[in-house]
Structure 1
Amino acid sequence: MESTNRNKLLVLGGTGFVGTHICKEALQQGLPVMSLSRSGRPKLRDSWTYDVTWIQGNLFEPDKWKDALKETSAVISCVGGFGSNETMRKVNGDANIAAINVAHDSGVKRFVYISALDFGFPSFILRGYYEGKKAAEEALQIKFPYGGVILRPSFIYGDRQVGEIKIPLSVLGTPLEMVLKQVKSITQIPIIGPLFVPPVKVTTVSKAAVRAAVDSAVPPGVLDVWHINRLGDS
């Protein structure tokens, strides 16, 4: 029997740079938030962390965490990483595909995937990374044709917490975004265009992701940087 109390947001990879900002944004909107990651509760002890239900688990072992989906109305996945091509294909692709399948089978209605802009690099550069992202996107569109939203941000900047140190990536990102937003037409130039897509604030990505997860008025499909900015700033 399906639970009728599906009101929680599950953030996959909620302890990472983007994931922590998404958790904070969801809490600010009054949403009950759960986070699933391999580490479980983060070392960070900011006050907001006590309002999140932290779940330790592996996406490839769904039997150990899928019960959380009984209370979940939407999932946002920030899972991704770098390494060898095999590792990148597994982390960016297979892990997300596993999560998409379990969420679908558990009756979750909406699933938001934080993907990435393809900058058009030669195929041998980060091949496994983009192959994995593409495979996850395809799986989401098949399993969630009416409730799957893909965000393709460019470089994401903002305050990144590394241990006790806060790295202000906005020092570089803010002026770069301001400049590149004024030359949108350049992004349409073949081959080099994607390199001029402006970076996007992590708070904007977070707001757009949460909005896409909870607002059925946001249509399924792909949101590029320009759409992310509009949705996140609205």
Structure 2
Amino acid sequence: MSATKRIVVFGGNGFLGSRICRAAVARDWDVTSVSRSGAPRWETVTSSPTPPSWSHKVAWERGDIFRPAQWTSLLHGADYVVHTLGILLEADYKGVISGRESPFSGLAKAFSPAKGAHSRNPLERVRDEGAAEPGVEPPTSPAQLTYEMMNRDSAILLAKEAAKEGVKAFGFVSAAAGAPVLPSRYITTKREAEAVVAREFPEMRGVFFRPPFMYDQSRAATMALAALATAGSAVNGLTRGVLGGFFGAVATKPLKADLVADAVVEALADETVKGPVEMPQLKELAHRAWRKTML
């Protein structure tokens, strides 16, 4: 009998992260989630405020991704580490939703150029500045969160610590493409993270998931956006992909979040899966995982 696999999911209390935890629990893996707030507020990630039965098998730990001392010990003995963190807008998105901040100010921040040291990845800063360890000064307010910090630097810092611990595989939730309402830096910072992790930590199998827009019935807003994306995908198909470059992710058919989560866990378990995982392979991996549940 094989030893129990151990997975640590950063951002495991989020929309996709919680579903990755669920899929890993279904395989009887030892599952740890790391996030700033610990366990999820279940009404924000599912259709019920009541914790599901599988959630009691997850260790819901607290830790700030930019403060490694808070979580490096949790990587000891891990087989897989997954990074699901990221931001769509460089703004206090909770403030936007609650009305405390205008969506227009969020877009203005997003389209502004990167500033200061946050425009360079932390490993480059170590080499150029002679520091002993890479690091990013933790943000003191949501307004300081940038694409470079959340979509790229946090992934690089986590990958570095995972490699030091001898983790077998590092999963990074990237993205299929940009979208017309988001600046190019949203996707370029994701791609930069992929490139740096693959180059700097070749001894660790890097798996870079590139899902399109994800939806679930528990989040009404995602269903409406999924319908829009599905329509965009149909139009793109009729025009033979002519609009794909302009519409980005909106021209790609969305996927159910549970399907993506199943694909992530299946890919980590398969030692032959490495590098970018695009939509067709995500669907194939999820189908393979589903077949295993039917045996």
The TM-score, its normalising length taken from structure 2, stands at: 0.67
**The structure with more strand, counted as a fraction of residues:** 1
Q: 2:256 aligns with which of 201, 204, 211?
A: 201
Alignment check: 8 A CA contact 1:35 1:53 kept? yes
- List aligned pairs for 1:1-234, cutoff 5 A: 7-44=5-42, 45-81=51-87, 82-83=89-90, 84-85=109-110, 87-119=146-178, 121=180, 125-145=182-202, 147-160=205-218, 166-167=219-220, 169-170=222-223, 173=226, 177=230, 180=233, 183=237, 186-187=240-241, 191-192=245-246, 194=248, 195-218=250-273, 220-234=274-288
1:139 partner letter: V
Distance 2:27 2:282 in 1: 18
Contact 2:11-2:85 at 8 Å conserved across structures? yes
Count residues with an aligned counterpart.
222
Which amino acid in 2 is paired with 1:142? R
Which 5+ residue runs of structure 2 have no aligned equivalent?
43-50, 91-108, 115-145, 289-295
**Matched letter for residue 25 of structure 1:** A
Distance 1:64 1:152, change over 3 A: same
Which ranges of structure 1 fall in alignment gaps of 5 or more residues? 161-165
- The one-letter code matched in structure 1 to 2:263 is A
Provide Cα deviations, 1:91-136, integer angstroms capped at 9, x if missing partner. 11111111111111111110111101223649xx424422321221
| Cα distance in 1 between the residues matched to 2:239 and 2:207 | 25
CA distance in 1, matches of 2:85, 2:163: 17
Task: Tell me the distance in 2 between the aligned counterparts of 1:79 and 1:17.
Answer: 10
Distance in 2 (CA, whole Å) between partners of 1:212 and 1:188 is: 31
Cα distance between partner residues in 2 of 1:178 and 1:22 = 27
Q: CA RMSD in A?
A: 2.8
Give 1 or 2 for the bigger CA radius of gyration. Answer: 2
CA change 1:61–1:224 in 2 (3 A) is: same
Give, in angstroms, the shift of residue 28 of structure 1: 1.2
Indicate the SS of the match to 1:72.
Answer: coil
Q: Per-residue deviation at 1:217? A: 2.6
Q: Which amino acid aligns with 2:171?
A: V
What's the TM-score once normalised by structure 1's chain length? 0.82
Which range moves more in the overlay, 26-35 or 175-184?
175-184
1:134–1:184 CA distance, 2 compared to 1 (3 A): farther
